[in-house]
Amino acid sequence: METAEYAPEAQHAQIQSAAVCYARAVRTQEWSAMADGKGSPAPSVWSADFRTTFRTLDGKPVFGMLIAADNKRSDEREELLTQATASIPSAILWFLLATPTITVVALGVCLPHRNNRGQLITLVVITALLTTALCIIRDVDRPFGGIINVDPVATTEAERQATRDFTANHPASELPCDAEGNRRAA
């Protein structure tokens, strides 16, 4: 979080360390939970730390800038969680699966029993195409898990930069979290 650079020295390390831990929690815990269409409470621990630190700066010129950056971070997280939520309800997805299944079975029953090689090949191709189309629709509807998987590239880069900045500015300090973004025991 580059805006931490503008905070007073007393809060500088707190904001930077919370930014590293927040990014770690999003990358390791929330990202995998989003594959199931859910969020994780782990990043919220560090969001609360941001707000606790910001309260000590109320009335100072940097306060507004830090609050705006925190609101932007919060909005971006909400957007990710919205994208992780499937937009096609399960009942509709099952209906979409049942309809072609019934259609293919009905067509298969209606095929002639002799000299039907062309019709069988056509039925198999149509079945494969419909099944593939439905699998693609389901996969696109759940971008954080499946074949079309969105990786946390931007979050990983933000974590790397925040870690680099924290280490450069506070070489003797230890982060308050582990590699997964969990708070260390005191």
* Of residues 49 and 60, more confidently modeled: 49
Mean pLDDT of the region 52-60: 86
Q: What is the b/e burial string over 117-145, where b = at least 16 CB atoms within 10 angstroms of the residue's CB?
A: eeeeeebeeebeebeeebeeebeeebbbb
Tell me the torsion sign for CA atoms 80, 26, 159, 75: positive
CA distances from 84 to 2, 35, 77, 106, 150 (A): 27, 7, 11, 36, 10
Q: Is the pTM of this model over 0.85?
A: no
pLDDT value, residue 2:
67
d(CA 41, CA 16): 20
Please work out, in degrees rounded to the nearest 5, the angle formed at the alpha carbon of residue 53 by the alpha carbons of 51 and 58. Answer: 85
Averaged pLDDT, 114-131: 88
Task: Produce one character per residue of 19-46: b if its CB has 16 or more CB atoms within 10 Å, e if not.
Answer: bbbbbbbbbbbbbebbeeeebbebbebb
Structure tokens at 49: 């730390």
Q: Check residue 1 and give its pLDDT.
A: 57
Neighbour-count burial of 102, counting CB atoms closer than 10 A to its CB (0-12 exposed, 13-18 middle, 19+ buried): exposed
Query: Please, what is the average pLDDT of the chain?
Result: 87
Tell me what pLDDT residue 186 has: 66
